[in-house]
Structure 1
Amino acid sequence: MFISISISVRQGRYDQGETPVVIIKDDGETSVDYTGSGTSLEYLQDNVWVVVDSDAVGFDELNVLEPGQKMEQKFSPSYIQQNGVYGIVFKFHANKNEENSSKKIAISFYGD
């Protein structure tokens, strides 16, 4: 399972108080299910990751991510309420061998 995660954000989005867009890409040769439900949002406080929302994405269906394809995940600004560093933990599993995988990406957010 080869999943890459990146952040796409324009300065204008920050200026308007919007959250970054996370891009998830399947770089492998097997289709992968991305489970939206269960994706957690964490906040770095005193060098410890604290869970802000244990179900930061509000839908339950599986998104099948085909090899070479990508998808965007947006988070509501209400989840990110203060300046700081946040971690987003995404959960995946491969369709063929049921290999489970979690990946975390850290983002810095500067609100008003």
Structure 2
Amino acid sequence: MCEERTQEPSCNKPDNSGGHNSGVADREDVPQKTAKEVVLEFLGEHDYPHQPKDIYGGLIYSRDITFSYRSVQVAVSDLHENGYLKKVEIDTDEGVVRDLPSNSSKRARYVVSESGRRELSE
């Protein structure tokens, strides 16, 4: 899943010494993870419904990221469109989490789908 891509921001933040703050060896042959990869991994590790802003906050808090909130929104949208995430809603009256149709305009939360779990296990 760690392919080098130039169109998406990476999660490895360079420091002033030219190295990386993330603990990754300072080697050109080590591919940097894309926003989509980091978001999918984060949601796989935190297996409960998240809104994009919560995902972004969690990534700021727990990972060394350089990409923006907008990049997280785009990554979530792309992952959902590709079937790696599914939209859910929390019904507080019934105390359940239920799937939402892909075309739902309701404010959604996202969880990793079965396809996303398979992608993470590769």
- The TM-score normalised by the length of structure 1 is 0.25
More strand by share: 1
Which structure has greater helix proportion?
2
- Higher RCO (CA 8 Å, separation ≥ 6 residues): 1
